[in-house]
Amino acid sequence: MKYIPHTPDDIRAMLDVIGVSSLEDLYAEVPEELKLHRELDIPQSKSEIEVRRIIRAMADKNRKLVPFAGAGVYDHYVPSMIPYITSRSEFSTSYTPYQAEISQGTLQYIFEYQTMMADLTGMDISNASMYDGSTATAEAMLMCVAAAKKRNKVLISATFNPRVLNVVRTYAKFHGVELVEIPAADGVTDREAITRELAAGDVAGVMVAQPNHYGIIEDFTGLADEVHAAKALLVINSIASTLAVLRSPGEWGADIACGDAQSLGIPMNFGGPHIGYLCVKSALVRKMPGRLVGETVDADGKRAFVLTMQAREQHIRREKATSNICTAQGIMCLYVAIYLSIMGRQGLVEVNEQSAGAARALREALLATGKFEEVFPGKPFLNEFALRYVGSESLETLRRRWAESGWLGGVTLDGMPNCLLFAATEQRTQEEIDAFAALV
């Protein structure tokens, strides 16, 4: 009888077993002056109706703004089928498959997730996911060092999202990795700086972002050959949904693909939870953190799923583990797997085409006001772009007016005064774009 409090007889029986006369005796070693000696000051019990009313009043304090912002979190449409399927009892209580082979349903959707993510990134193998894009990127950095053995220098482009960079810096500091940040030149990675660092030697990996933090689609032609010639690994971090229309990390010749998959059917939900993806070439499978679900057949010859690899310290000797921060992120894997299954290849393409169209309409509308100018003229982008505000009033005043009218107006860019990063998805309409721009 779960969740039913113990009866007095239950309590008496347990006290008799451990040899004490009362519950108070369990705290005999706690000094009297530290004890409260009164009832806790908490509200009286309430009915379900009263509790719902209180929670609704709290929720109503949230300001629900329509976002023209991204920077790592995107307002893509989540088909109604996803929360319906994930709320089914066989999924809603799912967690990591500790008793693996009896968790066939959990293993199957993780296997399908891995298959689709490997296909999307153009890589050989996907693991069973990470916490978020930041930690997935940090783990990719550690993989570079582990694969290089005697080299511990990793180059990372300054065009990464600053929040991701901060996490990678923290990992590097406490793992003894020499992290060298490659500067940006006109909004893109300085390729000449990479060439100089590679020529100096001792580089284990090179990490670049696509699209980068400014929304720019970079050209990595020849980069993989240059990195591999220096016996280093190439890591490409991408926003997962964009891989439906952009050249994949595998096509660029990357060894590791990583990033955040929130854009694949996971609601924004006030910032989380997210899911990080990590996909690799087959040669690196033994360096990959986390779990790997594989397909086989059972004793009757029927399709079955197994945990092919578990490289976390919970399952194997700590000194042999690749990482101690990895999880199946079961329910998030399921969200992504269902989303990709529903949307299919053409659906993902249409999402990106509509998002790109909305972003271009937004950009043109803002530039037409005369109060914004381009930050990186001529640079290609998909659905995210940077503009500089040149209006007479302060940028803070404009953003406050947007917020008061129900709009989230872009994300400020660190170290770039009066610059905002805007984003649009298939959810934004022309009417919303016109109303947003009219407030400028």
pLDDT at 309: 78
CB-CB neighbours of 242 under 10 Å:
24
**Helix/strand/coil for 293:** strand
Q: Rounded to the nearest 5°, which phi and psi values hold at 323? A: -165, 155
More confident residue, 241 or 321: 241
Q: With contact defined as beta carbons under 8 Å apart, do 425 and 435 qualify?
A: no
Instruction: Give the Cα separation of 13 and 320 in Å (integer).
Output: 45
Burial 93-126 (b: 16+ CB within 10 A, else e): ebebbeebeebeebbbbbbbbbbbbbbbbbbebb
Q: Rounded to the nearest 5°, which phi and psi values hold at 156? A: -135, 135
Tokens linked to 313: 């310290």
DSSP 104: H
Tokens linked to 316: 């194997």
Residue 391 pLDDT exceeds 80: yes
More confident residue, 136 or 315: 136
User: Average pLDDT, stretch 422-430?
Assistant: 97
**Helix/strand/coil for 51:** helix
Instruction: Give the Cα separation of 232 and 205 in Å (integer).
Output: 5
Instruction: Give the Cα separation of 289 and 309 in Å (integer).
Output: 9
Residue 17 pLDDT exceeds 90: yes
Residue 412 pLDDT exceeds 80: yes
Instruction: Give the Cα separation of 189 and 332 in Å (integer).
Output: 32
Tokens linked to 240: 């997962």
Residue 96 pLDDT exceeds 50: yes
pLDDT at 1: 47
Q: What is the pLDDT of residues 24-59, one digit of tens each?
A: 899 999 999 999 888 888 888 899 999 999 999 999
Q: Rounded to the nearest 5°, which phi and psi values hold at 198? A: -65, -40
Tokens linked to 174: 């406490």
More confident residue, 308 or 206: 206
How distant is the alpha carbon of residue 68 from its chain centre?
19
> pTM for this one?
0.86
pLDDT at 192: 96
Distances (CA, A) of 103 to 78, 88, 310: 27, 16, 15
Average pLDDT over all residues of the chain: 91
**Least confident residue range of 12-26, 89-103, 262-276, 320-334:** 89-103
Q: What is the pLDDT of residues 258-308, one digit of tens each?
A: 999 999 999 998 888 899 999 999 999 888 887 888 999 989 999 998 888
Q: Which of the four pLDDT bands, split at 50, 70 and 90, describes residue 228? A: very high
CB-CB neighbours of 425 under 10 Å:
23
Give the closest residue to 239 by CA, choosing from 220, 268, 259: 259
pLDDT at 141: 97
Task: Catalogue all structural domains in the chain, each as residue range(s) with its CATH number.
Answer: 8-56 (no CATH), 66-76+344-438 (3.90.1150.10), 81-340 (3.40.640.10)
Q: What is the pLDDT of residues 337-385, one digit of tens each?
A: 999 999 999 999 999 999 999 999 999 999 999 999 999 999 999 999 9
What is 203-261 written as a DSSP string?
EEEEEEEES-TTSB----TTHHHHHHHTT-EEEEEE-GGGGGTSPPHHHHT-SEEEEE-
By DSSP bridging, strand 188-189 and strand 233-238 are unpaired
CB-CB neighbours of 83 under 10 Å:
13
User: Average pLDDT, stretch 64-83?
Assistant: 94
Task: Tell me the angle at which helices 330-368 and 430-438 cross, rounded to the nearest 10 degrees.
Answer: 50
Chain position carrying tokens 């009313």: 53
